[in-house]
């Protein structure tokens, strides 16, 4: 019972062991020797030249190539390259552990195994967390580069970071001297210009470090065409034409003519939420569909063209310019407030006036007691009422007017007297 079980367990095991040993010995004879003396040197600031010597005793039938790979902080970058030359140029990552490994291979030769890897590493200097972070650069108007960064979290607050830059065409790495610090953000600006006919730009290497050994340096390589930001368009002018408005602005002096496109925004009557975007390939655009009774406001910005630059930045918006008759909204507001006010006031005046008029047209019914009192108590005055001659008439009219006045008075006093209503 135990024998078959043991055999069934042993057989695959032995087979596996035998296979491994066979493979090892078979390949062992043909494993290539490794390259030697792997080392590196800096080219300018942020570029490394890794160099090595060829392996010895390579058979003449071997088509020798070197395979190399980069390992950052222990993680292979999978940037394998094969070459016949005995060096490889890479970007330097000064704030991370960087290793390069190389082995020799015979191409088109299945009789030999690649050599084992040889490695050399470049260890970061300084204290972890002191390197500058959040480095970003913008290439303004193809004229100057503006880079910003923040201090590392473990860097002391008075760290004096310095930016150095280099690109193909610059003899030596250059220190950026126009620097400033504000609200914990460092900025440095340096000239970065090329003849206008240039259409390809070299990558730019940027190194930020401090003279202190404790501050960890950091390197970055940037493709300038991804950082292009055009200048704000200037001299925006608007002119009325027969069938619309001509919007014009000054052409860029630094960009090739065909490398910018523009976005014009049209606002109608100050409605900033509903702008209409009008694209343009040149530095002017005709705008039709214009309402003569509206005010139009325009602003423009420039964008780099994809054919020239691989950049997503656009310029800032230009100043705004307006054209056209503006139906002044403040006048409307004043009218909206004053018209009802005038109507209300005049209504009140009219009502008061009407009341007086009503009294005149339809005199209030006199109090009978008053009439009786007048009729019987004051006969002398009453008998004189009908008009006989002119002076008397005038006198009578005065009296009648006085009576009316007194009636108005009694009427108003009566209306304000609640006791009268109760009776």
List residues near ligand NAG by CB under 6 A: 33, 37, 39, 41, 43, 49, 51, 56-57, 87, 89, 110-111, 128-129, 153-154, 156, 158-160, 178, 189, 191, 212
* Residue 205 beta carbon to ligand NAG: minimum distance, rounded to whole angstroms: 13
Rounded to whole angstroms, how far apart are CA atoms 199 and 371?
Answer: 114
Beta-bridged to residue 238, according to DSSP, are 247
Structure tokens at 24: 């090892």
Q: Which residue's CB is nearer to ligand NAG, number 228 or number 285?
A: 228
* Residue 170 beta carbon to ligand NAG: minimum distance, rounded to whole angstroms: 12
* Residue 183 beta carbon to ligand NAG: minimum distance, rounded to whole angstroms: 15
Rounded to whole angstroms, how far apart are CA atoms 388 and 175?
Answer: 122
Structure tokens at 156: 């002391």
Q: Which residue's CB is nearer to ligand NAG, number 49 or number 384?
A: 49
Q: Which residue's CB is nearer to ligand NAG, number 51 or number 318?
A: 51
* Residue 316 beta carbon to ligand NAG: minimum distance, rounded to whole angstroms: 15
Structure tokens at 277: 């975007």
Rounded to whole angstroms, how far apart are CA atoms 322 and 331?
Answer: 19
Collapsing DSSP to helix, strand or coil, 377 comes out as helix
Q: Which residue's CB is nearer to ligand NAG, number 204 or number 300?
A: 204
Rounded to whole angstroms, how far apart are CA atoms 390 and 278?
Answer: 89
Q: Which residue's CB is nearer to ligand NAG, number 113 or number 396?
A: 113
Tell which residue, 115, 146, 196, 156, has the closest CA to residue 313: 146
Q: Which residue's CB is nearer to ligand NAG, number 41 or number 235?
A: 41
Q: Which residue's CB is nearer to ligand NAG, number 128 or number 340?
A: 128
Beta-bridged to residue 162, according to DSSP, are 209
How do strand 63-72 and strand 98-107 relate by DSSP bridges? antiparallel
Collapsing DSSP to helix, strand or coil, 359 comes out as helix
* Residue 193 beta carbon to ligand NAG: minimum distance, rounded to whole angstroms: 7
Helix%, strand%, coil% for the chain, nearest 5:
25, 35, 40
Collapsing DSSP to helix, strand or coil, 372 comes out as helix
* Residue 257 beta carbon to ligand NAG: minimum distance, rounded to whole angstroms: 21
Residue of minimal Cβ distance to ligand NAG: 129
The DSSP line for 210-264 is -SSTTSPPEEEEE-GGGGEEPPPP---EEEEETTEEEEE-PPPSSS-GGGEEEEE
Rounded to whole angstroms, how far apart are CA atoms 204 and 168?
Answer: 8
* Residue 288 beta carbon to ligand NAG: minimum distance, rounded to whole angstroms: 41
* Residue 292 beta carbon to ligand NAG: minimum distance, rounded to whole angstroms: 44
* Residue 164 beta carbon to ligand NAG: minimum distance, rounded to whole angstroms: 14
Q: Which residue's CB is nearer to ligand NAG, number 129 or number 340?
A: 129
Q: Which residue's CB is nearer to ligand NAG, number 153 or number 421?
A: 153
DSSP state of 275: -
Dihedral (C-alpha) 300, 306, 310, 315: value to the nearest 10 degrees?
0
């Amino acid at each position: 019972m135990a024998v078959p079980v043991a055999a069934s367990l042993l057989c695959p095991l032995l087979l596996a062991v035998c296979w491994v040993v066979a493979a090892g010995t078979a390949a062992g004879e043909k494993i290539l020797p490794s390259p030697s003396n792997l080392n590196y040197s800096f080219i300018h600031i942020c570029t490394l030249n890794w160099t090595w010597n060829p392996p010895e005793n390579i058979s003449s039938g071997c088509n020798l190539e070197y395979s190399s790979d980069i390992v950052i902080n222990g993680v292979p970058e999978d940037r394998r390259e094969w070459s016949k030359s005995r060096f490889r140029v890479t970007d330097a990552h000064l704030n991370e552990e960087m290793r390069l490994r190389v082995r020799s291979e015979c191409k088109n030769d299945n009789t030999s195994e690649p050599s084992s890897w040889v490695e050399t590493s470049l260890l970061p200097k300084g204290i972890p967390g002191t390197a500058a972070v959040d480095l970003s650069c913008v290439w303004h108007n193809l004229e100057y580069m503006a880079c910003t960064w923040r201090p590392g979290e473990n860097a002391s607050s008075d760290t004096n970071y310095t930016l150095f830059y280099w690109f193909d065409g610059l003899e030596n790495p250059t220190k950026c001297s126009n620097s400033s610090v504000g609200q914990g953000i460092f900025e440095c600006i340096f000239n970065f210009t090329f003849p206008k006919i240039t259409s390809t730009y070299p990558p730019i290497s940027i190194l930020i470090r401090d003279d202190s050994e404790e501050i960890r340096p950091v390197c970055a390589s940037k493709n300038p065409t991804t950082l292009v930001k055009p200048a704000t368009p200037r001299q925006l002018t608007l002119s009325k034409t027969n069938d619309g408005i001509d919007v014009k602005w000054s052409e860029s002096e630094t960009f090739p003519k065909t490398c910018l496109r523009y976005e014009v925004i049209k606002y109608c009557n100050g409605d900033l939420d509903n702008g209409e975007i009008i694209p343009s390939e040149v530095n002017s655009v005709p705008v039709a569909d214009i309402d003569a009774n509206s005010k139009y406001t325009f602003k423009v910005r420039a964008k780099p063209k994809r054919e020239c630059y691989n950049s997503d930045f656009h310029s800032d918006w230009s100043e705004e310019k307006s054209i056209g008759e503006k139906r002044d909204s403040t006048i409307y507001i004043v009218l909206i407030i004053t018209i009802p006010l005038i109507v209300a006031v005049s209504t009140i005046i009219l009502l008061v006036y009407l009341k007086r008029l009503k009294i005149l047209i339809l005199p209030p019914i006199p109090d009978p007691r008053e009439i009786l009192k007048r009729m019987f108590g004051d006969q002398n005055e009453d008998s004189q009422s009908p008009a006989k001659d002119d002076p008397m008439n005038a006198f009578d009219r005065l009296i009648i007017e006085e009576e009316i006045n007194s009636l108005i008075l009694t009427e108003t006093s009566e209306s304000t007297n609640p006791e009268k209503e109760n009776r």
